[in-house]
């Protein structure tokens, strides 16, 4: 090669490098501009307030991991412990969206701002229970049982706009692994969500026979009803627990998942389509229908459940509980109550209420 050639090659390489730098900076600029106008033109039909608290310096950079969780007044200690566990066990740039009722906002803000949680990136979104009118039975007893916030997960793309992938967590969980790992779980093409199945899960062992614990579709849906029969679903299909959801919100929107879920809620108010023995929350059946054979899987260790069921939780060895990436106290016995298994694990993440309204029930305190 002549010297001239070498010079030319170097020149071309420099030009390419220059273009890459310019392009990267332009991308960065557009990124920046995008971030400067958060939520402009956001249309959220059922929110009265959106309190953005994202500007706080948390020192965490990089890809945002959106996590949606709900905060019910009578169990605010739960959401605080869950968020704390997620945050402490990861270095990722986690951003929480907390869905709550208007009356809870003040208490929640106090708890988040006056404690070690003050650097956690979050926004508080208000859920309007009117949203559910006509979609859940007017029978006061069911209404009582139907805690409105449990339906927030049906509206994921509305609460977390502008993101493709998001995580939903029930409030009665403790995360022990790095949430980034759960976030990186891949969803199959065409799937809007991933759940942990009830039968092949490590946590299902020995629990299936317990009263009220179901692990297949017939435990949740009334297969004698025409509307259910017509779907042609197999009654013995393994069910899943929607307390932990990894969602592709683009697919969710493309497939109108929210509208489909609302459709089944409405039908159920006309004719009871859910199993009579339904023990768990009434949010599960519509999800089972809409995601029948159309969901991806979450690693069972990322959803170790039944810690709140009688006996069931006690069957786990301390070693197994320690190895779990996520613990879920679904069932009647919550870790902030008197008689729950492994409440010592939960206590490690709990942060006392600065307003003194909430406190876990403990024998020795
Ligand atoms: C892009 O912007 C971020 C802050 O928004 C900054 O930390 C980073 O260094 C920038 N990257 C480049 C290549 O300029
Ligand atoms: C929400 O709560 C605030 C103060 O707690 C109150 O002023 C406001 O009217 C409430 N909004 C709704 C829609 O209930
Ligand atoms: C989400 O779904 C869209 C539409 O099918 C797809 O293009 C995209 O790759 C998916 N993203 C993830 C993270 O799975
Ligand atoms: C979703 O809803 C829109 C508007 O109602 C409709 O045009 C579209 O066909 C629906 N898509 C699916 C997959 O049902």
Domain positions in the chain? 50-347
Specify burial of residue 57 (Cβ count, 10 A radius: 0-12, 13-18, 19+): exposed
What is the dotted CATH code of the domain comprising 50-347?
3.90.550.10
For the cut 50, the answer to whether the pLDDT of residue 137 exceeds it is yes
Ligand 4 neighbour 256 (Cβ under 6 A): yes
- Rounded to an integer, the average pLDDT of 196-207 is 66
Find out whether 358 and 77 touch, Cβ atoms under 8 Å: yes
Alpha carbon nearest to ligand 4 atom 5, residue: 256
Q: Which residues sit with their C-beta closer than 6 Å to ligand 3?
A: 164-165, 187, 248, 250-251
pLDDT at 60: 86
- 0.85 cut: is pTM over it? no
Q: How many C-beta atoms lie closer than 10 Å to residue 223's C-beta?
A: 14
The band of 99, judged by pLDDT with boundaries at 50, 70 and 90, is: very high
Find out whether 60 and 86 touch, Cβ atoms under 8 Å: no
For the cut 90, the answer to whether the pLDDT of residue 6 exceeds it is no
Atom of ligand 1 nearest to the CA of 32: 5
Alpha carbon nearest to ligand 1 atom 7, residue: 61
Our CA dihedral for 214, 219, 221, 226, rounded to 10 degrees, sits at: 150
- Rounded to an integer, the average pLDDT of 282-304 is 94
Atom of ligand 3 nearest to the CA of 165: 13
Mean pLDDT score across all residues of the chain: 83
**What CA–CA distance (Å, rounded) separates 274 from 285?**
7
- Rounded to an integer, the average pLDDT of 43-71 is 68
Q: How far is the CA of 184 from the centre of ligand 4 (A)?
A: 29
pLDDT digits (tens, 9 = 90+) for 317-351: 889 999 999 999 988 889 999 878 899 999 999 99
Ligand 4 neighbour 255 (Cβ under 6 A): yes
């Amino acid at each position: 090669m002549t010297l001239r050639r070498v010079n030319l090659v170097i020149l071309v390489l420099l030009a390419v490098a220059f273009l890459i730098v310019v392009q990267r900076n332009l991308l960065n600029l557009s990124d920046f501009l995008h971030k400067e106008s958060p939520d402009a033109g956001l249309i959220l039909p059922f929110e009265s307030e959106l309190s953005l608290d994202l500007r706080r310096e948390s020192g965490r950079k990089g890809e945002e991991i959106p996590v949606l969780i709900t905060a019910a007044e009578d169990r605010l200690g739960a959401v605080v412990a869950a968020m704390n566990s997620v945050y402490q066990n990861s270095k990722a740039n986690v951003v929480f969206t907390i869905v709550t009722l208007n009356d809870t906002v003040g208490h929640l803000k106090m708890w988040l701002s006056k404690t070690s949680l003050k650097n956690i990136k979050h926004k508080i979104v208000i859920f309007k229970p009117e949203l559910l009118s006509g979609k859940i039975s007017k029978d006061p007893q069911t209404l009582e049982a139907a805690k409105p916030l449990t339906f927030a997960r049906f509206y994921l793309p509305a609460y977390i706009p502008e993101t493709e992938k998001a995580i939903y967590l029930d409030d009665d969980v403790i995360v022990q692994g790095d949430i980034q790992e759960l976030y990186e779980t891949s969803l199959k093409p065409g799937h809007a969500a991933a759940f942990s199945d009830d039968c092949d899960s490590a946590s299902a062992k020995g629990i299936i026979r317990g009263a009220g614990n179901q692990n297949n579709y017939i435990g949740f849906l009334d297969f004698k009803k025409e509307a259910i029969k017509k779907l042609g679903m197999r009654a013995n299909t393994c069910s899943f627990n929607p307390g932990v959801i990894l969602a592709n919100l683009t697919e969710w929107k493309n497939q109108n998942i929210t509208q489909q879920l609302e459709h089944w809620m409405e039908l159920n108010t006309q004719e009871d389509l859910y199993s009579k023995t339904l023990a768990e929350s009434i949010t599960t059946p519509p999800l089972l229908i809409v995601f029948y054979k159309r969901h991806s899987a979450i690693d069972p260790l990322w959803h170790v459940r039944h810690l709140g069921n009688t006996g069931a939780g006690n069957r786990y060895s301390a070693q197994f509980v320690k190895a779990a990436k996520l613990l879920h106290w679904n069932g009647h016995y919550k870790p902030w109550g008197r008689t729950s298994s492994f409440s010592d694990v939960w206590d490690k993440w709990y942060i006392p209420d600065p307003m003194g309204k909430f406190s876990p029930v403990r024998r020795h305190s």
